[in-house]
């Protein structure tokens, strides 16, 4: 079966929190974009038309968490797998829903995702637990009233007083009233509203939580209720109970929830909190939505009390690795290579703030993507440290040790794979300790602590070039990527030049006439 979608991307005004005149990037006039749904094994075809004007921008969509086995050139990363889709041009992505669970798609062009260009992506598969109803995506996101390109300029600016860019609000499914007392100019302030969920007590619901934000960690809870985590990213896990679910940017958690009436009240707050001194900066750190039980009046406003906020120890860490044990065991092989990467912040010669991984900020060429160079057997990678290509050749299993020598947290995301998370701590890794070695945690995004360490490993069974990067939109723009080159000799599947040309011909023509 092929699931087909037509996306027209354009600029528009949007006010998810009531704050008006915020320009954003929409899909078919919607924010967030339409939900892509498929069954495990289906083909997904998305035709993307770039109608962004005033000013023109390139674009490209990435299908977060999907492996793109045999279809690396549809991974949607400008400079790596394609040229940006030029203004006025279209591109058809075609790939298999080869893994199942909750995910999302987003622009991978600059920090465009922070301008609203994202949506849920759900692949239905077998369930390892029972529940009554799938509620679908619950998107948690920080929200910025400034345009994303202005924020990118600020964080990279030579003026360090501009580096802090607090978010203005926190949204649940694109809603949460903005607190207008936070702005002097009352003009742009309209009325926002809350997302609402109508549930029956005693019935079990599945919520698909997605942190689709730009920078902030999210701590999700429903007052007085117990949540059971059943999946993290696209990995089903042995269910465990919690009152607060932690999600770094890009992470997902499926949770089961059987509502119960608390203190006789049938209206309950759902909350998501951006918390932690170093994990976020938010003018309004809490987003809320309303849960109405058993036919409670639609106008009810909850008065329930929040769980105490998680203690801020400055680590911005995920739950202990021991908590999430994969339901399906995948045996961890001995790594065939172990490589260490250091993360640093630098101020470059022109005074701009950047991030380095493995010694260099990532900077490649929109006009000639790395995957195309690899296909052409161009071996000039070592001459271009700024491309941040790590060529692991034909190694079968790659272990990477990451030391974060910066004071920011970094939700690290790998393309083309899941990764085993073998270690996560403030202390230097001892070179041997693996958490739960018989069945270590797997996921596609994991929070690297400030001044902390993580160790990950993946099986190199997917020829291509796969970004491994921080998912904080601004850090991405500041170059916090490496590109994992995998089995370059096998990248030359038929069809690449034709597919690359579909975006690059139009983009190169556009840049020739518009520089």
Binding site for ligand C2O (CB under 6 A): 62, 64, 106, 108, 250, 413, 415, 467, 469, 471
Three-state SS at 500: helix
CB 62, min distance to ligand C2O, A: 5
Q: Phi/psi at 448 (nearest 5 deg)?
A: -90, 125
Is residue 343 within the footprint of Cu ion (CB under 5 A)?
A: no
3-state secondary structure 364-411: CCCCCCHHHHHHCCCCCHHHCHHHCEEECCCCCEEEEEEEECCCCCEE
Binding status of residue 175 toward Cu ion by CB under 5 A: no
Pick 253 or 406: Cβ nearer Cu ion: 406
- Contact of 140 with 108, CB cutoff 8 Å: no
Taken in order 31, 124, 321, 389, the sign of the CA dihedral is negative
Q: What's the closest the beta carbon of residue 307 comes to ligand C2O, in angstroms? A: 29
What lies within 8 Å, CB to CB, of 140 at 6+ separation is 170, 171, 172, 209, 210, 211, 212, 213, 218, 220, 247, 272, 287
**Between residues 81 and 324, which has the closer beta carbon with respect to ligand C2O?**
81
Compose the 442-481 pattern: x for residues touching Cu ion by CB under 5 A, - for all others.
----------------------------x-x--x------
Residue among 49 and 415 whose Cβ is closer to ligand C2O: 415
As a whole number of angstroms, the longest Cα–Cα distance in the chain is 69
For the chain, helix, strand, coil in percent to 5 are 10, 40, 50
467 binds, among Cu ion, ligand C2O, none (CB under 5 to 8 A by kind): ligand C2O
Q: How far apart are the first and last CA of the chain?
A: 43
- Contact partner, 11, from Cu ion, ligand C2O, none, Cβ < 5-8 Å per class: none
Q: What does 250 bind: Cu ion, ligand C2O, none (CB cut-off 5 to 8 Å by kind)?
A: ligand C2O
Tokens linked to 504? 């690059």
Between 24 and 250, name the residue whose CB sits nearer to ligand C2O.
250
Nearer residue to Cu ion within complex by CB, 214 or 222: 214
Closest separation in Å from C-beta 447 to Cu ion:
10
Shortest CB 374 distance to ligand C2O, Å: 18
Which residues are paired to 38 by β-bridges? 123
Say how far apart CA 194 and CA 174 lie, in whole Å: 9
64 contact, one of Cu ion, ligand C2O, none, CB 5-8 Å limit per kind: ligand C2O
CA dist., res. 393 & res. 395, Å (int): 6
Interface characters, 399-438, with Cu ion (x: CB under 5 A): -----------x----------------------------
Output phi, psi for 382, to 5 deg. -60, -25
Task: List C-alpha distances in Å: 154 to 128, 182, 282.
Answer: 46, 21, 16
Task: CB nearer to ligand C2O: give 106 or 266.
Answer: 106
Q: Which does 417 bind (CB under 5 to 8 A by kind): ligand C2O, Cu ion, none?
A: none
Plot region of 250 (φ>0 → left; ψ -120 to 50 → alpha; else → beta): left
Measured distance CA(304)–CA(439) in Å, rounded: 39
Which partner in ligand C2O, Cu ion, none is near 99 (CB below 5 to 8 A by kind)? Answer: none
Closest to Cu ion by CB, 345 vs 395, is: 345
218 vs 221, beta carbon nearer Cu ion? 218
Q: Which does 271 bind (CB under 5 to 8 A by kind): ligand C2O, Cu ion, none?
A: none
Indicate the residue among 413 and 475 with the shorter CB distance to ligand C2O.
413
DSSP secondary-structure letter at 282? B
474, containing H or E segment: helix 473-477
Name which of ligand C2O, Cu ion, none residue 472 binds, using a CB cut-off of 5 to 8 Å depending on partner kind.
Answer: Cu ion
| Kind of pairing between the strands at 286-293 and 195-199 | parallel
Q: State the binding partner of 62 from ligand C2O, Cu ion, none, CB within 5 to 8 A by kind.
A: ligand C2O
Contact between 321 and Cu ion by CB under 5 A: the answer reads no
Judged by CB, which is closer to ligand C2O: 7, or 205? Answer: 7
d(CA 304, CA 272): 14
- Per partner kind, with CB cut-offs from 5 to 8 A, the member of ligand C2O, Cu ion, none near residue 469 is ligand C2O
8 A C-beta contact, residue 73 and residue 496: yes
Smallest separation (angstroms) from ligand C2O to the CB of 101: 14
Q: How far is the CB of 490 from ligand C2O (least distance, A)?
A: 22
Q: Using CA atoms, how far apart are residues 246 and 368, in angstroms rounded to an integer?
A: 38
Residues at the site binding Cu ion, with contacts judged by CB under 5 A: 410, 470, 472, 475
């Amino acid at each position: 079966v092929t699931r087909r979608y037509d996306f027209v991307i354009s600029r528009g005004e949007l006010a998810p929190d009531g704050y008006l005149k915020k320009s954003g990037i929409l899909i078919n006039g919607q924010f967030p974009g339409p939900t892509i749904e498929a069954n495990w094994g289906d083909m997904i075809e998305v035709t993307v038309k770039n109608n962004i004007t005033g000013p023109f921008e390139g674009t490209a969509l990435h299908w977060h968490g999907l492996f793109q086995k045999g279809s690396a050139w549809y991974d949607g990363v400008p400079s790596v797998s394609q040229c940006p889709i030029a203004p006025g041009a279209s591109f058809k992505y075609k790939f298999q829903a080869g893994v199942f669970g909750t995910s999302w798609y987003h622009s991978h062009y600059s920090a465009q995702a922070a301008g609203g260009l994202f949506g849920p992506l759900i692949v239905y598969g077998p369930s390892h637990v029972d529940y009554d109803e799938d509620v679908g995506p619950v998107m948690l996101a920080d929200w910025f009233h400034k345009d994303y390109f202005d924020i990118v300029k600020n964080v990279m600016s030579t003026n360090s007083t501009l580096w802090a860019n607090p978010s203005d609000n926190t949204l649940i499914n694109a809603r949460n009233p903005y607190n207008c007392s936070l702005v002097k100019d009352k003009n742009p302030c309209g009325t926002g509203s809350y997302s609402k969920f109508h549930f029956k007590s005693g019935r079990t619901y599945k919520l698909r939580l997605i942190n689709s934000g730009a920078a902030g960690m999210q701590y999700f809870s429903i007052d007085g209720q117990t949540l059971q985590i059943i999946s993290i990213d696209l990995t089903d896990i042995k269910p465990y109970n919690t009152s607060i679910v932690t999600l770094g940017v890009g992470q997902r958690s499926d949770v089961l929830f059987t509502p119960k009436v608390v203190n006789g009240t049938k209206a309950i707050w759902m909350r998501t909190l951006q918390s932690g001194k170093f994990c976020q900066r938010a003018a309004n750190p809490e987003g809320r939505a309303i849960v109405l039980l058993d036919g409670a009046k639609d106008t009810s406003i909850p008065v329930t009390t929040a769980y105490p906020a998680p203690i801020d120890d400055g680590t911005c860490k995920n739950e202990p690795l021991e908590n999430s044990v994969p339901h399906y065991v995948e045996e961890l092989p001995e790594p065939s290579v172990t490589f260490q990467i250091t993360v640093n912040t630098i101020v470059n010669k022109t005074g701009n703030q950047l991030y380095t991984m493995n010694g260099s900020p990532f900077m490649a060429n929109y006009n000639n993507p790395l995957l195309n160079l690899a296909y052409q057997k161009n071996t000039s990678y070592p001459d271009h440290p700024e491309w941040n290509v790590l060529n692991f050749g034909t190694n079968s299993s790659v272990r990477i040790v990451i030391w974060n020598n910066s004071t920011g947290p970094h939700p690290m995301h790998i393309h083309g794979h899941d990764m085993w998370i073998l270690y996560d701590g403030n202390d230097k890794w001892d070179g041997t300790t693996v958490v739960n070695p018989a069945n270590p945690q797997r996921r596609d995004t994991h929070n690297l602590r400030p001044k902390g360490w993580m160790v990950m490993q993946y099986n190199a069974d997917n020829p291509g070039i796969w970004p491994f990067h921080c998912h904080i939109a601004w850090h991405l723009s500041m170059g916090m990527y490496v590109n994992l080159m995998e089995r370059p000799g096998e990248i030359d599947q038929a069809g690449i030049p034709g597919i690359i040309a579909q975006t690059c011909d139009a983009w190169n023509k556009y840049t020739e006439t518009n520089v």
